[in-house]
Homo-oligomer: A and B are copies of this chain.
C-alpha cells in the first residue's frame, strides 16, 4: 500500500530540500496536512514569490527585488570600498554591524577544485570588470576562513593587486567572548600572529 498521491508528492517535494530525508519529509508532510489552511496557502505563495520576484543584482550579485539592489543604488554609501563575500547571507551578516558603509560583491561560491569549481564558475569576472569601470581604493576579501575561502582570497588578491588597489582580508583571531581553553590551534596561532599593541 502506498500513501495517497497528494501526500506522496508532497513528501517528494520536501525531500528535494537539503538535509531532509524520507523520514523527516514524511513528518513534515503529515504536519502540513494538519496546518491551518491559510498558513499552507501563504507557504505556497511565498515559495512562488521568492522564486519569481527575487533576482541577483546585476552589479554586485546580491539578492534583490529591484535591479540594481538597494545598496548599489545608495549614493550615500562609500563607493571606493568593496567587501567581497561568498553568499548573499554574508552581506546580511556584515550589514548587521551597522558600521560599514561601502559596497559589496557576492561571489556565489568559492574556488573548489574538489567540486570542480574554477574562477569561471563564481562571480570573479564581474568583480574585475567592475574594478576597471569604477575607481575603487580598497577591496576587503571576506570569504570564509576555510581552505577554499583562503585559496579564493589569495586568487582574488593576486588578480587585483597589480592594478594598484589595496586588498585586505578580515582578521583571524579569537571570537569575542570566547575561552582560550576551547580555541583550536589554528585560531590561536592566527591570534598570536595578529597580536596588537595595547
Q: A residues within 8 Å of B by Cβ?
A: 1, 3-7, 9-10, 12-13, 16-19, 24, 26-33, 35, 37, 39-51, 53-54, 63-65, 70-71, 87-89, 92, 95-96
Between A10, A18, A89, the greatest number of chain B beta carbons within 10 A of the residue's beta carbon is seen for A10
Tell me the minimal C-beta distance from A47 to chain B in angstroms. Answer: 5
Which residue from chain B places its CB closest to the CB of A65 in the assembled complex? B4
How many copies of the chain does the oligomer comprise?
2
Which residue from chain B places its CB closest to the CB of A69 in the assembled complex? B4
Tell me the minimal C-beta distance from A119 to chain B in angstroms. Answer: 20
Partner of A18 from B28, B33, B71 at Cβ < 8 Å: B28
Pairwise interchain contact A47-B46, C-beta atoms closer than 8 A: no
Pairwise interchain contact A49-B16, C-beta atoms closer than 8 A: no
Partner of A46 from B10, B24, B95 at Cβ < 8 Å: B10
Pairwise interchain contact B96-A33, C-beta atoms closer than 8 A: no
Decide: A27 near B18, CB < 8 A? Known: A49-B9, A54-B7.
yes
